[in-house]
């Protein structure tokens, strides 16, 4: 049974929604604040209202995405927020603008969860919105392929080997460049900057000052 976490502070929306989804055969947990959403164990899918009383919806969406690949459908009352949501800066999988039709929502939930549960071929790794295929050395941001230079791919692949863990500058230089690298390390920063730009999710590669870099996701 698919477990849906409904994060919505407005009872008039959340209650009929929760009942409807239960009738549809989903297990539903309802919370009314961002903090309660973060305290919940990972659901199979999150319906997330952006206008919550405690935590900014954008921030919450990023935080959920940073710790899990759980599909997120954002619910917003403001159509002017849609650009930001659709730009996937938030890491959301889909969105609905209030007021929305219940049937449409169920259709979106089905589509998003189908995508999320499709088996991934061996050698393919998903990191947030980024997909890495080590066999073909190809990388995608959502469905769009990203052209990476060989060193950029090696750098991303190395960080993704242990997503969430810090990889030191020296380790990266030795493994991606040369095992006896003693030269200037500025070249590493240049590559990181380019990689961030190309991935379209600059926050994905986190600088750990004085140490190195990490992919800002849980393994």
How are beta strands 72-76 and 94-97 bridged, if at all?
Answer: parallel
For position 9 contacting Ca ion by CB under 5 A, the verdict is: yes
Position among 2, 3, 33, 51 found at the interface with Ca ion (CB under 5 A):
51
Least gap, CB of 32 to Ca ion (angstroms): 9
The count of C-alpha atoms lying within 13 angstroms of the C-alpha of 215, restricted to the half-sphere facing its C-beta, is 24
Alpha-carbon span 191 to 198, nearest angstrom: 10
For position 58 contacting Ca ion by CB under 5 A, the verdict is: no
For position 49 contacting Ca ion by CB under 5 A, the verdict is: yes
Alpha helices (H) in 24-163, listed in sequence order: 34-39, 57-67, 82-86, 102-117, 150-161
The residue range among 50-58, 66-74, 149-157, 160-168 that interacts with Ca ion, by the rule CB under 5 A, is: 50-58
For position 98 contacting Ca ion by CB under 5 A, the verdict is: no
For position 154 contacting Ca ion by CB under 5 A, the verdict is: no
For position 20 contacting Ca ion by CB under 5 A, the verdict is: no
For position 81 contacting Ca ion by CB under 5 A, the verdict is: no
The token pair at 93 is 């999988």
The token pair at 55 is 């935590």
Residues of this chain that bind Ca ion (CB under 5 A): 9-10, 49, 51
């Amino acid at each position: 049974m698919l477990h849906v976490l409904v994060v919505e502070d407005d009872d008039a929306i959340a209650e009929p929604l929760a009942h409807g989804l239960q009738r549809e055969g989903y297990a539903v947990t309802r919370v009314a604040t961002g903090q309660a959403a973060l305290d919940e164990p990972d659901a199979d899918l999150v319906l997330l209202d952006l206008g919550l009383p405690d935590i900014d919806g954008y921030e919450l969406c990023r935080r959920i995405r940073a710790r899990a690949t759980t599909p997120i459908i954002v619910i917003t009352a403001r159509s002017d927020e849609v650009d930001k949501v659709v730009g996937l800066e938030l890491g959301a999988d889909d969105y609905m603008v209030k007021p929305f039709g219940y049937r449409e929502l169920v259709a979106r939930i089905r589509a998003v969860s189908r995508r999320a549960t499709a088996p991934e071929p061996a050698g393919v790794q998903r990191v947030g919105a980024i997909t890495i295929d080590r066999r073909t050395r190809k990388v995608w941001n959502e469905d769009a392929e990203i052209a990476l230079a060989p060193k950029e791919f090696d750098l991303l692949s190395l960080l993704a080997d242990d997503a969430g863990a810090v990889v030191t500058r020296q380790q990266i230089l030795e493994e991606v460049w040369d095992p006896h690298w003693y030269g200037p390390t500025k070249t590493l920063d240049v590559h990181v900057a380019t990689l961030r730009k190309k991935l379209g999710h600059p926050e994905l590669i986190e600088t750990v000052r004085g140490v190195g870099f990490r992919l800002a996701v849980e393994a």
